[in-house]
């Protein structure tokens, strides 16, 4: 069981807006640790999508955005496209676990 909780699956139609939640606790997200998001397309390595809660690396479309509040974070994708079908993971750190890296269980996004 992952320390960060994500919905196992989500689906949306092309052009829609979806959000993926990442729920933590007072020892990780709520303690102020940054949240990062990754996209893993089928058969490929994970790719950094968002870092430091809200920042997009160069090359990531502005259709991807993220936010953090309290003990949770969320990733939003607007104008959903077929190539967005992938697994999405949130990542942070946990102060009760020697500041070890923690991941959400991942959300499989299906574009209908």
Partner 1 sequence: QVQLVESGGGLVKPGGSLRFSCAASGFTFEDYHMSWLRRAPGRGLEWISDIGRSGSTKSYADSVRGRFTISRDNAKNLLYLQMNSLGAEDTAVYYCARKGAGFGQFDYWGQGTLVTVSS
- In 3D, which of 38, 44, 60, 58 has the Cα closest to residue 107? 38
Task: Quote the least distance from Cβ 13 to partner 1, whole Å.
Answer: 25
Which residue number, 34 or 85, has a Cβ lying nearer to partner 1?
34
Two tokens, residue 81: 């496209």
Which residue number, 13 or 59, has a Cβ lying nearer to partner 1?
59
- In 3D, which of 47, 37, 112 has the Cα closest to residue 73? 37
Task: Quote the least distance from Cβ 96 to partner 1, whole Å.
Answer: 13
Which residue number, 101 or 112, has a Cβ lying nearer to partner 1?
101
- Rg of the chain on CA atoms, in Å: 13
Which residue number, 72 or 107, has a Cβ lying nearer to partner 1?
107
Q: Cα(60)–Cα(47) distance, rounded to whole angstroms?
A: 10
**How many residues does this entry show for the chain?**
112
With residue 89 as reference, give the H or E element that holds it: strand 86-94
Task: Quote the least distance from Cβ 15 to partner 1, whole Å.
Answer: 28
Contacting positions for partner 1 (CB under 8 A): 2, 34, 36, 38, 40, 44-48, 51-52, 55, 57, 87, 89, 91, 93, 98, 100-106
Task: Quote the least distance from Cβ 25 to partner 1, whole Å.
Answer: 18
């Amino acid at each position: 069981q992952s320390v960060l909780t994500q919905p196992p699956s989500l689906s949306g139609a092309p052009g829609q807006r979806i959000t993926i939640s990442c729920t933590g606790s007072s020892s990780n997200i709520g303690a102020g640790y940054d949240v990062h998001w990754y996209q893993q397309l089928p058969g490929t390595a994970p790719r950094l999508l968002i870092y430091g809660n809200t920042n997009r690396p160069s090359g990531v479309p502005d259709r991807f955005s993220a936010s953090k509040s309290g003990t949770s974070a969320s990733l939003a994708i607007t104008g959903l496209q077929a190539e967005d079908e992938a697994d999405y993971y949130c990542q942070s750190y946990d102060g009760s676990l020697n500041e070890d890296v923690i991941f959400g269980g991942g959300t499989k996004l299906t574009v209908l």
